[in-house]
Structure 1
Amino acid sequence: MVSPLDDAAKEKIKARLGKCLGATDLSVGTKITGKVRDTYVLEDKVLLVTTDRQSAFDRQLALVPYKGQVLNKVAAWWFEKTKHIIPNHVISTPHPNVTVGKKCTIFPVEVVVRGYMTGSTGTSVWTHYSTGEREYCGVALPDGMKKSQAFATPILTPTTKAEDHDAPISPAEIVAQGLMTQGEWDYVSAKALELFVFGQQVAKEHGMLLVDTKYEFGRHADGTIMICDEMHTPDSSRYWVAASYDERMAQGQEPENIDKEFLRLWFRERCDPYTADPLPEAPAELVTELASRYIQLYEVITGETFVFDDTDPTNLTAEALGVA
């Protein structure tokens, strides 16, 4: 079962609402600002600073207390657990929000693996299936599937990587466009499925269903293909509570979750989140609830108690990280 956070933890979250890590300026290397991470590319390594930015619909929706710490710690936990499947980029985690990684050439494709028919964004399989499409990213989909139903086996639905909007793409198109060689795709896709099946097994042992996720892979200077960026975090993945899944499906209800889907749905109910200008502001109680869910997920998946780091994240410096 997923235990709610106690009142003391929730008060810590509320007190942090105005002190989130929204942006960084370490003044080292070449900075690349992503949707959630600020990446600093140095000569032989990269610094990945996971901020508290909440992204969806290719936009920033809110700043969520402790979110960056949760994502960084969850990713580090999974990277350690999956070293037997594929090498990863992690060198060290010198700060709750920071990972120092090996410098790799990242493949310009996000490898998305899905175990269930669901989603609400433009790249989600349910969005396309519900309009009558029966082939998605080169995968033939059977008639008669319901939202939130499990696939017979996990499917791959890769997307391009873009600054403005990711787009679905088939494996054949990936190779034809020169984004990856056939050999690279074959290796990466096989490892993605292996990682996902392992992730599902571990999640189920902890009472959760790993619904879908995205992986990013890159090639190190020594030729090794490794997994980079993040893994099985509540930002890159969707999780449902296993114990209530069957009953809620039978009643036609949405599965119980502790991920960010409820926030996406909140925006969808009030506007077109891709085009609304300005976006409505997410209420403080909604942001606090999302922070609580991120922390809950960390604790239920890792079996460890989340340690709140209350130092001011806006004071992050290259000197403190030992990379100045």
Structure 2
Amino acid sequence: MNTESVYGDVLGLPLVHAGKVRELYALPDRDDALLMVATDAISAYDHVLSTPIPDKGAILNQMALWWFEQLVDVVPNHVLSTDVPDAVAGRAVIVEKLDMFPVECVARGYLTGSGWAEYQVDRSICGVPLPAGLHDGARLEDPIFTPATKAAMGDHDENVDFATVAATVGGQAADELRDLTLSVYTRAERIARERGVLIADTKVEFGRRADGTIVLADEVLTPDSSRFWDAQAWPESLDSFDKQFVRDWLVHESGWDRSGDQAPPPLPDHIVDATRQRYLDAYERLTGNAFTR
């Protein structure tokens, strides 16, 4: 477990877990709940970059809250309250404690990223066969469930087939996770497309309550967990409102060797500014709201 924290000193609460971009804190007299804080850190290729993106945590938190509201009749979520300490206002929520499934639940409606790389090898993704002749950015006839392992900090998530998920969590739970993931994606894809944004793919996570109910947890449909494309520019352009912009700079412009042992370099100011603006554009296009801290 990563024990370093960004907000621990100002909150004065016990740190339960520090992930790549979120921190979980215990709450006094609340054994059933945690404080989840979104930091301004950004990760890429299994590295937490040394340069934060200003306001990123608040943008992600507020976008996720908006999406939870849009999906409330599709699946219950883990949010209990937005009444949080002033030090983390706008970037934190109080959430249920859940037994989290050790699976990254990914839905793809378009072919790109690691899915495109896998497709080029054998015309399938995670064991799901696809038609020949597709191109990078192609819309799939129906969205598909392409799960991945949930790797520890610094390790790589790996795409797996449905049978692996069933062997990990049980067949019934695997069926429920697949169906819920595709239901979340289908609802969100329609909502976003009406607002001029294509959701190419997205990753969601689920936990289970003590009574067995499966609950949508962590974040949902943010620029960290999804690929957002401009509907008017597609398919000629796959320019995105998400952290693919940072990934592209690291691989193509920074001089960093992704296969080496060195950490990624700091982000220059113009990349930081452009990344922040893309996150803001995604939030404002989707929610129709102006961002406020």
Q: TM-score, normalised by structure 1?
A: 0.81
CA distance in 2, matches of 1:274, 1:69: 32
Of residues 209, 230, 236, the one that matches 1:241 is 230
Structure 1 counterpart of 2:241: 258
CA distance in 1, matches of 2:282, 2:74: 23
What is the Cα deviation at residue 143 of structure 1?
2.1
Deviation string, structure 1 residues 219-249 (Cα, Å, up to 9, x no partner): 0123211100011111111100111214x1x
Structure 2 counterpart of 1:149: 138
CA distance in 2, matches of 1:127, 1:280: 25
Mapping 1:1-324, distance limit 5 Å: 23-25=6-8, 26-42=11-27, 43-61=31-49, 62-93=51-82, 94=84, 95-119=89-113, 124-130=114-120, 132-163=121-152, 164-176=155-167, 179-246=168-235, 248=236, 254-269=237-252, 270-273=255-258, 275-307=260-292, 309=293
Query: Is the contact between residue 59 and residue 274 of structure 1 (CA under 8 Å) also seen in structure 2?
Result: no
Query: Is the contact between residue 258 and residue 297 of structure 1 (CA under 8 Å) also seen in structure 2?
Result: yes
What is the Cα deviation at residue 80 of structure 1?
1.1
CA distance in 2, matches of 1:305, 1:276: 41
Deviation string, structure 1 residues 263-319 (Cα, Å, up to 9, x no partner): 101111133335351422221111111001111111110001111x3xxxxxxxxxx
What is the Cα deviation at residue 168 of structure 1?
1.2
Query: Is the contact between residue 47 and residue 264 of structure 2 (CA under 8 Å) also seen in structure 1?
Result: no
CA distance in 1, matches of 2:268, 2:65: 30
Number of residue equivalences: 274
CA distance in 1, matches of 2:165, 2:277: 38
Structure 2 counterpart of 1:15: none
Partner SS for 1:166: coil
Partner SS for 2:99: strand
Deviation string, structure 1 residues 25-54 (Cα, Å, up to 9, x no partner): 144345211111112245211211100111
Query: Is the contact between residue 21 and residue 43 of structure 2 (CA under 8 Å) also seen in structure 1?
Result: yes
Percent of pairs with identical residues: 40
CA RMSD across the alignment: 1.5
CA distance in 2, matches of 1:27, 1:34: 18
Query: 40-49 or 202-211: which moved more?
Result: 40-49
CA distance in 1, matches of 2:259, 2:61: 27
Structure 2 counterpart of 1:9: none
CA distance in 1, matches of 2:38, 2:119: 33
CA distance in 1, matches of 2:289, 2:201: 23
CA distance in 1, matches of 2:36, 2:164: 30
User: Which amino acid is the alignment partner of residue 164 of structure 2?
Assistant: E
Q: Which structure ranks higher in relative contact order (CA pairs < 8 Å, sequence separation ≥ 6)?
A: 1
Query: Is the contact between residue 29 and residue 41 of structure 1 (CA under 8 Å) also seen in structure 2?
Result: yes
Partner SS for 1:143: coil
CA distance in 2, matches of 1:35, 1:281: 16
Query: Is the contact between residue 38 and residue 91 of structure 2 (CA under 8 Å) also seen in structure 1?
Result: yes
User: Which amino acid is the alignment partner of residue 218 of structure 1?
Assistant: G
CA distance in 1, matches of 2:150, 2:240: 27
Q: Aligned in 2, Cα 1:105/1:259: closer, same or farther, shift over 3 Å?
A: same
Q: Aligned in 2, Cα 1:275/1:141: closer, same or farther, shift over 3 Å?
A: farther
User: Which amino acid is the alignment partner of residue 87 of structure 1?
Assistant: P
What is the Cα deviation at residue 127 of structure 1?
2.2
User: Which amino acid is the alignment partner of residue 174 of structure 1?
Assistant: V
What is the Cα deviation at residue 188 of structure 1?
1.6
Gaps of 5+ in 2: none
CA distance in 2, matches of 1:101, 1:204: 29
